[in-house]
Structure 1
Amino acid sequence: MNHTVHAVRRLATVEARLFLRDPLTAFFSLVFPVLLLVVLGCIPALRRTSPDLHGMSTIQLYAPILAVFTLLLLGLNGLPSLLAAYRERGVLRRMSASPVRPGLLFGALVPMYVGIASVSVLLVVLGGLALGVPLPRQPLGFLLAFVLAAAAMMSVGLLIAAFVPSAKAGNAVGALAFFPMMFFSGIWLPREMSPALLDRIGDFTPSGAAVQALQDSWNGHFPHAVALLTLAAYAVLAGGAAAKLFRWE
């Protein structure tokens, strides 16, 4: 047991170093969400509350959206392309013949990516606080929503990684999933401003459900059961399918 924990810790440390050596990925995962929030917050009109937005400001709407951004980026772009590249180069095959089994790589990568996303969310929360966005008023609901959102995004990413044949294909398929997910999360048009039909469709996407659950808890309400169940369903179904379909070679 101790050997397994040590191996996972070593793998996570190596992967974290490799991640930080890619400045572009590190920038978009950690810095870009809070930077975009600050840029938007420099526009006075976006900091003013409006009855049309249920008494919130545009900045308050974008805070949970940007909190989900890193989960989408890492889950749908980072994880599939990285695992596909390892499979393509034979890394997973060589690991399967060593005491460090390929499955331990999941135990290192997924928590590492969730940790990076957690730092990004913390920066968004602190950046929003500096711009007048209150702290999440339902912290337990916020934590639950974030954990389920992370599980859903990483599970979808693992499912993509299970069948893409190469790193390039992983990037392409990840992008095909990433941009619609961003649309339904509201980054181009916040959900409060979009047509009701799009909102209802978005409620049953992992990104839309994640933003809704985080928004609810940010405003002091426990996340709606539909959003939480949607995220849990994606985590269980996509994660289970990924476990069955994943190819090590």
Structure 2
Amino acid sequence: MSLSVLAQSGVPRAAFGKIVRNEARLAWRQPSGLIAGVGISLALLIIFGEIPVFRQSSASLGGLSTFDVYIPILIAFVIGVLALTYLPGPLVSYREQGILRRLSTTPVPPSWLLAAQMVVQACLMAISVTLLIVVSVGFFGASPPKNPAGMVLAIALTIVAMFAIGLSIAAAARTAGAARGLMAAAFYPLMFFSGLYYPTQLMPTALKDIAHFTPLGAAVEAIQDTMLQGFVPAAPLLVLAAYAAVFGYLAMRFFRWE
């Protein structure tokens, strides 16, 4: 249902803005996911930047420093935390508490609540990613992205793909406890293959190949190439687009408001 149709039926367009503001206030009242995502990633970035040996190039990392390697990894980490912990949890909780059912009895469609959550999370992701890039470039002398447009494309596809996975979790989980279990089952393996625990450059070939076909592994590859080499790699972008399409379909197919 379009905003214009809703406006004609008595639901003003401003109602969506109010829902977004309310969801933003709720997010700030429960900032654990935001603190975990932004706080940990920023702390690790500062630690790697302050330790001289981490700023030295390494042959085992393909001539990159540990600091260079971890910038795209931490960007992927922030997106992963917010999409897999901050997005599904409230939606499942709203369904479990009957909030979505009560909202369906008003002129405002429940889909607006879903859209508002996505707007809030996307804004938090954009702020977090920008902060990491500004700190790495402005305070620790990292090279500015050689292809800013390509980097924006890679980050946008990462956000869409991870949103789709997060919404699929919200669709599959019937309780908040089940949602937490699914989030953990998805988050920790994905972060391993993104290189957070062990850089992909140091992984055995078989694990490295698997990493390239995971959403966050592909995200790290695409972001790193646009930051350091300048070109937009097709393969990881296609992987991200495939995850967005498949999990987006699953989320739409199985998501229930009640």
User: TM-score, normalized by length of structure 1?
Assistant: 0.95
Aligned-partner SS, 2:145 = coil
Cα 1:68–1:5 change in 2 (3 A) is farther
Residue 248 of structure 1 aligns with an amino acid whose one-letter code is: W
Name the structure 1 match of 2:153.
Answer: 144
Give 2:189's aligned amino acid. P
Q: Aligned partners of 2:194, 2:125: CA distance in 1, in Å?
A: 16
Counterpart for residue 153 of structure 1: 162
Q: State the SS of the aligned residue for 1:222.
A: coil
Pick from 141, 154, 160 the counterpart of residue 132 of structure 1: 141
RMSD, aligned CA: 1.4
CA deviation after TM superposition for structure 1 residue 24, in Å: 2.4
Q: 1:45-194 alignment to 2 at 5 Å?
A: 45-129=53-137, 130-194=139-203
Q: Are 2:250 and 1:236 equivalent residues in the alignment?
A: no
Q: Please state how far the C-alpha of 1:5 moved relative to its aligned partner.
A: 4.3
C-alpha deviations, 1:143-196, integer Å up to 9, x for none? 000110000000000011101011111111101100000000000111111112
Give structure 2 stretches of 5+ with no counterpart.
Answer: none
**Which TM-score applies when normalising by structure 2?**
0.92
SS at match of 1:49: coil
Give the number of equivalent residue pairs: 249
Distance 1:180 1:5, change over 3 A: farther
Larger Rg: 2
CA contact (8 A) 2:33 2:85 kept: no
Q: Output the amino acid matched with 2:164.
A: S
For the 8 Å contact 1:29–1:117, the answer to whether it is kept is no
In the alignment, the residues of structure 2 paired with residue 224 and residue 8 of structure 1 have an alpha-carbon distance, to the nearest angstrom, of 37
Residues 88 and 169 of structure 2 are in contact (CA less than 8 Å); yes or no, is this contact kept in structure 1? yes
1:206 alignment partner in structure 2 = 215
Tell me the CA shift for residue 222 of structure 1: 2.2
Contact 2:33 2:82 in 1 (8 A): no
Query: 2: CA distance between counterparts of 1:211 and 1:90?
Result: 38
Paired residue secondary structure (2:109): coil
Letter matched to residue 56 of structure 2: R
Residues in 2 aligned to 1:160 and 1:78: alpha-carbon distance in whole angstroms: 12
Q: Structure 2: how far apart are the matches of 1:199 and 1:11?
A: 43
Q: Secondary structure at the match of 1:134?
A: coil
Matched residue, 1:196: 205
State the Cα deviation string for residues 68-117 of structure 1 (Å, max 9, x = none): 11211111112122111000000111111111111111211112111101
Amino acid at match of 1:145: A
* Pair 246,198 (structure 1): closer, same or farther in 2 beyond 3 Å: same
In the alignment, residue 118 of structure 1 is paired with which amino acid?
Answer: A
Matched, 1:12 2:20: yes
8 A contact 1:31–1:120 mirrored in 2:
no
Structure 1 runs of 4+ aligned residues shifted over 3 Å read 2-5
AA aligned to 1:91 is: I
Q: Which of 196, 204, 226 is equivalent to 2:235?
A: 226
Distance in 2 of aligned mates of 1:55 and 1:166: 47
**How many Å separate the matches in 1 of 2:227 and 2:114?**
31
Q: Does 2:45 correspond to 1:25?
A: no
Q: Which moved further from structure 2: 94-103 or 141-150?
A: 94-103
CA contact (8 A) 1:155 1:238 kept: yes
Distance, in Å, in 1 between the alignment partners of 2:148 and 2:190 is 25
Q: Tell me the CA shift for residue 58 of structure 1.
A: 0.4
